[in-house]
Structure 1
Amino acid sequence: MKNLKHAGYDYLLEESLEALHRESQIWSSELKLWEIELAFFQKLLDRNSQNFTSNEEKKKMGHFQNLVSYYTGEVLDRFDQKIKQHEKYLAGELANKEQLDESVYRKKHAEIASHIGAFRIEFIMYKREFFNFIERVM
C-alpha cells in the first residue's frame, strides 16, 4: 500500500473511491469556471483590441486570443471528456463490485490529476500575463 501525502501529512491508507469521485467533481467545476474566465478574457480582448496599436501589442493580443481558442476548444474539451470517461468507468466498476479493479481507476485518476494540476499552474501564469497586458489599456 502506498503512502499518500496531503497537506503535508503522511497517511497510511489510500483515499477512498468516494474521495476520488469528489475530486473528479471538483475538476468538472474548475473546467466550467475556466471556460467562463476564458470567455471573459476574450470579451476583454475584443473590447480593447483597438487600443493596441503597435506590432508588438498586436502580436501579444493574437497570442492571448490563440491561447483562449486552444484552451477552450482543445484543452478543456479534452479534460471534460477524460473526466466523464473516468467517472463512467468508476460507475461501471462500482455496479460490478465482484470484479472491481481499483488499481486501474486509481492509476487513471492520478494521471488526470497530474495533467489538471499542470494545467492549473499554466492557467495561473496565463492569467497573470494576460492581466498585466490588458491592464495597460484599462
Structure 2
Amino acid sequence: MEKMERAKQVLFNEDLHFEHQQWRSELAFWEDESRSFKNRLEEMVRRLTDKNLLAQLEHYQNEFVLHNGIIDNLQEDIEIHEARIASQTQTGRDMPDTLLTRKHLEFRRRMETQRQIYVDLKKEFFGFLTKYM
C-alpha cells in the first residue's frame, strides 16, 4: 500500500476491538496447540534414551515455554489496550487518538513477528519429528 493510501485510512475503536478479538482467538489456538506439543514432547522424553535426541527435545521444550510466555504477554497487552479503547469510547470518541493508534500498529507488528516465529518453530519441530520419529 502506498504511503498516500495509508494516510487516508481511518481507524475506529470498533476496528481495533475487532482486530483484538481476532488476535485473542489466534492466541487461544496457539495455547491449545502448545499443550499438544508439550504432551508430545513429554511422551517422547519418556521413550527416548539417546542423549543427543533428548537434548534436541529439551531445546524444543524450552522454545515452547518461551512461546507460552510471549502468548501471556500478548494477552495482557491486549487487555491493557482494550481498557484504553474502552475509556476513550466512554468519552464519546469513536476514533483512537494518535498514541492509541500508534500503539495498535506496534502491536500488530508484534503479532505478525510472533506469528512468523511460531510458524518457523513448528516447521522445525515437525521436521525433527519426521526425521527421528
Listed one character per residue, the Cα deviations across residues 19-55 of structure 1 (whole Å, up to 9, x for unaligned) are 2211111111111000001100011111122444333
Superposed CA RMSD: 2.2
Listed one character per residue, the Cα deviations across residues 73-129 of structure 1 (whole Å, up to 9, x for unaligned) are x2111101000000110000000126x752121111011111111000000000000
Instruction: Provide the TM-score with structure 2 as the length reference.
Output: 0.87
Question: Residues of 2 paired with 1:136 and 1:45: CA distance?
Answer: 15
Question: Residues of 2 paired with 1:118 and 1:31: CA distance?
Answer: 13
Q: Does 1:124 align with 2:126?
A: no
Instruction: Judge which range, 31-40 or 89-98, deviates more.
Output: 89-98
Instruction: Provide the TM-score with structure 1 as the length reference.
Output: 0.84
Instruction: Give the 4+ runs in structure 1 shifted more than 6 A.
Output: none
- The percentage of aligned residue pairs carrying the same residue is 25
Question: Residues of 2 paired with 1:2 and 1:106: CA distance?
Answer: 17
Instruction: Judge which range, 53-62 or 77-86, deviates more.
Output: 53-62
Secondary structure at the counterpart of residue 38 of structure 2: helix
Instruction: Give the deviation of 1:2 after TM superposition.
Output: 6.0
Structure 2: gaps (5+ residues): none
CA contact (8 A) 1:31 1:76 kept: yes
Instruction: Give the deviation of 1:135 after TM superposition.
Output: 2.5
Structure 1: gaps (5+ residues): 5-10
* 1:32 equivalent in structure 2: 28
Structure holding more strand per residue: 1
**Count of matched residue positions in the alignment of Structure 1 and Structure 2:** 131
Secondary structure at the counterpart of residue 30 of structure 1: helix
